[in-house]
Structure 1
Amino acid sequence: MGNPHILAIPYPAQGHVIPLMELSHRLVDHGFSITFVNTDFNHKRVKDAFGNKVEGEGSIHLVSIPDGMEPGEDRNHLGKLNDGITNVMPSEFRKLLKKINGFEDDKISCVIADVNMGWALDIAAEFQIPGSAFWPASAFLLALLLSTNNLIDDQVIDKDGTPINGEKMIELCPNTPAMHPKNFLWVSLGDFTTQKITFEFSKRNIKTIKNVEWLICNTSFDLESGALSFFPQILPIGPLSATNQLEPLTGSFWPEDETCLKWLDQQQPSSVIYVAFGSFTVFDPIQFQELALGLELSNRPFLWVVRADITQGTGCEQLYLKGFKTRVGSRGKMVGWAPQRAVLAHPSIACFISHCGWNSTVEGLSNGVPFLCWPYFADQFIDETYICEIWKIGLSLRGDEKEIITREEIKSKVEQLLKNDSFKERALKLKGLVMNTVKENGSSNKIFNDFIEWMKSDKS
């Protein structure tokens, strides 16, 4: 018998693939071999982004199955994506397991499935393969999903997930973000149909993982003591990014432009504003231009990640205001996608203007970087509250009466954040705590080692 063989299946979105890939690399360090299952669509993106680096990852074998959507359909439409996942992927996953387990000497010994792919654990059980669930976001968001039935019973939401009183803040448990129900994950995704599909999708997955032996989460006690004390079945093994091992294969969907690291080398320590909004955020042209002008007005060097699809309709090249690139000159560096963990670890970074996705949040705080928060949707409002009100390592950017975050607001908040040393001091203190938690004898490290032992044991 060779190394224990783990099959890992993330939900098909960038913020889910990257942390499960990080976990897979940690498992390889402990002698496991990994089969990593992307959708066909995302598999192609990862291979296109990483080229020959993909082939070199001997212990992580990338495979794929269809997601049930047509080639040209919008994978950012979460209602359609969740429908496809529910109706098509289970039978394809069953076929894949059958094929892999047909080889006597390399059977799957455990399936690690994203909580949002809970059905994969049911199928693993059909094959008598032990399963564990992985949650890539905050423990608080998972606690919220686990509390769905209580929220219905308490008449906070109706049976479709719609807030009954969307203006009243709720606090799920002590030391956690207070929330507007209108910012609940499923409500913030747009139209009612998408909300209803996503709410049902979440409820089915939560039901599946209720009895799972290991429910592991990319967080730590230092970050989320409130949610983790309230829901002790959520086991923190992170933040995975705090292990600070930069792997060649990150699972990114876009090629990473490493020229920005050389540019950062030429900047002063703690001088650069890093600006990145993840894989989903879309700006209208006016907001894009205000952001550009705000960065210009700041009079500081900035590194700005501008995805090709970050603006509605018009390509971003047409939206840079006349003379903008000339005026900012070498003070501004724009790239299509960045090696974010390496960027945030760079000594020249002063602060992070972020959409506050959980990966970006934990990558920033693992490097002691203060934040300016600009959430877009889903759990990003929760993470903003953590950053600004609970950990106090950042400030929120506020829209005007037209909900535009103006150039003046950007300039003013950058100055406020960087002229007040207490944000950086608290960020460095938090960094120290999370670095210790993943070290030998740290709380996350101990749980991770117990998880390793469980996967290596005879669980039959």
Structure 2
Amino acid sequence: METQQEPCKLPRNRRRVILFPLPFQGHINPMLQLGSILYSEGFSITIIHTTLNSPNSCNYPHFEFCSFSDDGFSETYQPSKVADDIPALLLSLNAKCVVPFRDCLANKLMSNSQESKDSFACLITDAAWFIAHSVANDFRLPTIVLLTDSIAASLSYAAFPILREKGYLPIQGIIWNSFEDLEQVELTTVHQQYYLSIPVFPIGPFHKYFPAYSSSLLSQDQSSISWLDRQAPRSVIYVSFGSIAAINEIEFLEIAWGLANSRVPFLWVVRPGLGRGAEWLEPLPKGFLEMVDGRGYIVKWAPQQQVLAHPAVGCFWTHSGWNSTMESICEGIPMICQPYFADQMVNSRYVSHVWRVGLHLEGKLEREGIERAIRRVMVEADGQGMRERAMYLKEKVDICLQRGGSSYQSLGRLTDHILSL
């Protein structure tokens, strides 16, 4: 398979795969990307999703979409408070959705048997939908899990082997948006110590198989690209903390002044709700925007994959979500890591201490430390070493997706595995 191609309309193999994404940006994106990859392998694709944060079906005309109500969850859902207690949020979401998901899956299985000759191969569910395994098992539908974390972060979930032994995870396989050359040691550990007989498929990076389809839940500001077009090569630091993280006013101001004082051009994504208690840029001091005019550009949301691929970008200041980390690695861009929760902590340490393609911001967030970190990556000799190692990983990405590469072969094994179910 060649990379960056449109999903080709291959003859159907008469097998249908149901995909069940978690309704948050960092989980919807990789699931829909995986759907496009499997579609190119000949599978028919059905997406079952909640009405909360529904994906735009118009961008995926080759998929079938089926939605169900979340039984009131969306009425109490507050995006700005997602990061406050993620376990409680996931428990509530799963509890609210177990019955409507079961009904939706039952209706889909029944209607498909009457209207189509496609047979259902399996359900591929986000790992955070822990209700999905038992529901699918009631219908004797095999389950494969998509883990949207790195392999390293997934290994930190020590409870997984225990849950599997007790029969709570009757899964038929695990898919990762990663590749062997990036996490070879961790993948070996997975095989030897944790999942044993469960097949694993590191087929990433997902987004490099085809041009990006827009599955963003926020409107992307394309003016960021035209602004980058006017900047010098590798001169800009791109700053984005993802779709969930929220920061207080003091941290917001320290970030702003750290960017300004670094004297480095910056593209800063300030998502509405990023600053707690603020609509958008209200915490900025009077005159700040005028002071950085021309050198700094602020948008509400950016087309991140395009931004990172732009020749003007020289560094990515990131929250270290796995999608963002992979997208940066794929473009050979060093990172400044400011993790907030969950797998971001592990991802950040791997970026800074294992792959050595970036820095981990530690301690209190202060403008002087921010300025030093930016200049260390963008200007000083340390940054040159990070860029060289980042470009080495980018070359490994290109190789793994080519015919005979590790992800290419892993995708072939995944296809054969699904067809065998």
Interval of TM-score (by shorter of Structure 1 and Structure 2) = 0.7 to 0.9
Return the alpha-carbon distance in structure 2 between the equivalents of residues 40 and 207 of structure 1: 33
Tell me the C-alpha RMSD between the 2 structures. 2.2
2:300 to 333, 336, 352: 336
* CA positional deviation for 1:349: 0.6
Q: Structure 1: which amino acid aligns with 2:61?
A: G
Counterpart of 2:151?
139
State the match for 2:221 in structure 1.
257
Change in CA separation of 1:85 and 1:107 when aligned onto 2, cut-off 3 Å: farther
1:182 counterpart residue number: none
> Partner residue of 1:349?
313
The 1:209/1:226 distance shift into structure 2, 3 A limit, reads farther
1:407 to 364, 367, 375: 367
Contact kept in structure 1, 2:308 and 2:327, CA below 8 Å: yes
Please list the CA deviations of residues 94-128 of structure 1 after superposition, one character each: whole Å capped at 9, or x if unmatched.
Answer: 21122112232155332101122243132222222
Determine if contact 2:59/2:214 at 8 Å carries over to the other structure. Answer: no
SS at match of 2:268: strand
Work out whether 1:20 is the aligned partner of 2:31: yes
Q: Displacement of 1:230 after TM fit?
A: 0.9
Match for residue 202 of structure 2? Answer: 236
**Is the 8 Å Cα contact of residues 6 and 109 (structure 1) preserved in structure 2?**
yes
Task: Kindly report which structure 2 residues correspond to 1:324-403, keeping only aligned pairs within 5 A, or say none.
Answer: 324-399=288-363, 403=364
What is the correspondence of 1:12-411 to structure 2 with a 5 Å cutoff? 12-43=23-54, 46-47=55-56, 54-68=57-71, 69-74=73-78, 76=82, 77-103=85-111, 104=114, 105=116, 106-145=118-157, 147-148=158-159, 210-232=169-191, 233=195, 234-243=200-209, 245-250=210-215, 252-399=216-363, 403=364, 405-411=365-371
Match of 1:171 in 2: none
Question: Contact (CA 8 Å) 1:217, 1:236: kept in 2 or not?
Answer: yes
Equivalent residues of 2:21, 2:48 under 8 A apart: yes
Q: Distance in 1 between matches of 2:208 and 2:141?
A: 30
**Amino acid in the other structure paired with 1:307:** R
User: Could you tell me which amino acid in structure 2 is paired with residue 120 of structure 1?
Assistant: A
Task: Note if contact 1:118-1:205 (Cα within 8 Å) is conserved in structure 2.
Answer: no
Q: Decide whether the 8 Å contact of 2:233 with 2:312 is kept in 1.
A: yes
- Structure 1 residue runs without a partner (length 5+): 48-53, 151-202
1:73 and 1:11 map into 2 onto residues whose CA distance is 14
* 1:141–1:379 contact (8 Å) kept in structure 2: yes
* 1:115 and 1:205 in contact (8 A); partners too: no
Residues 127 and 431 (structure 1 numbering): CA distance in 2 closer, same or farther, change over 3 Å?
A: same
SS in 1 for 2:327: helix
Kindly tell me the number of residue pairs found equivalent between the two proteins. Answer: 391
Matched residues in 1 for 2:256 and 2:401: separation?
Answer: 38
- Alpha-carbon distance in structure 2 between the residues aligned to 1:231 and 1:221: 12
- For residues 206 and 263 of structure 1, what CA distance do their matches in structure 2 show? 54
What CA deviation, in whole Å up to 9, does each residue of 1:384-410 have, x standing for no partner?
1100000000112233xxx2x222111
User: Matches of 1:110 and 1:73 in 2, distance apart?
Assistant: 30
1:344 alignment partner, SS class:
helix
Which residue is 1:435 aligned to? Answer: 398
Change (3 A) 1:19 1:436: same
Percent sequence identity over aligned pairs = 32
1:426 matched to 2:389? The reply is yes
Q: Deviations over 1:187-207 (max 9, x none)?
A: xxxxxxxxxxxxxxxx76896
The answer for the alignment partner of 2:5 in structure 1 is: none
Stretch moving more, 266-275 or 94-103: 94-103
Contact in 2 for aligned 1:100/1:108 (Cα 8 Å): no
Native 8 Å contact 2:14 2:119 kept in 1: no
Counterpart of 1:153 in structure 2 is none
**Whole-angstrom distance in 2 between the partners of 1:297 and 1:119:** 49
Structure 2 length-normalised TM: 0.87
Aligned partner of residue 292 in structure 2, secondary structure: helix
Inter-partner Cα distance in structure 2 for 1:57 and 1:149: 33
1:173 aligns with: none
Per-residue deviation, 1:37: 2.3
Question: What per-residue deviation string (whole Å, max 9, x for no partner) do you get for residues 281-308 of structure 1?
Answer: 1111111011111111121221111010
Residues 444-459 of structure 1 mapped to structure 2, 5 A cutoff: 444-457=407-420, 459=421
Whole-Å separation in 1 of the counterparts to 2:99 and 2:31? 22
- Is the CA contact (8 Å cut-off) linking 1:110 and 1:455 kept in structure 2? yes
Q: Once superposed, which parts of structure 1, at least 4 consecutive aligned residues long, lie more than 4 Å away?
A: 203-211
Report how far residue 80 of structure 1 moved.
4.0
- Whole-angstrom distance in 1 between the partners of 2:165 and 2:253: 41
- Asked whether the equivalents of residues 39 and 45 of structure 2 are also in contact (C-alpha less than 8 Å), the reply is yes
